[in-house]
Amino acid sequence: MLLEGKNAIVTGASLGIGSAIAIDLAENGANVAVNYRKHADEAGALAEKIIGMGRKAIAVQADVSSFEQAGSMVKKVVEEFGGLDILICNAGVNRDSVIWKMDEEQWNTVLDIDLKGCFNYARHAAPIFKEQGHGKIVNITSINGLRGKFGQSNYSAAKAGVVGFTKALARELGRYSVNVNAVAPGLIETEMVKQAPEKVKDMALAEIVLGRIGQPEEVAWVVSFLCSEKARHITGHVISADGGQYI
- What residues act catalytically? 155
End-to-end CA distance of the chain: 33
Q: Is 180 helix (H, G, I), strand (E, B) or coil?
A: strand
Give Cα separations from 147 to 32, 43, 184 (angstroms): 32, 32, 11
User: What region does 98 belong to: left with phi over 0, alpha with psi -120 to 50, or beta?
Assistant: beta
Question: Please, which residues have CB within 8 angstroms of residue 182's CB and are 6 or more apart in sequence?
Answer: 138, 139, 140, 141, 162, 163, 166, 237, 238, 239
CB-CB contact of 37 with 69 (8 Å): no
Give the integer Cα–Cα distance in Å for 92 and 37. 11
**Residues whose CB falls within 8 Å of the CB of residue 166, separated by 6 or more in sequence, listed in order:** 137, 139, 141, 180, 181, 182, 236, 238
Q: CA 196 → CA 10, 141, 152, 168, distances in Å?
A: 25, 20, 15, 35
- Phi, psi (deg, nearest 5) at residue 165: -60, -45
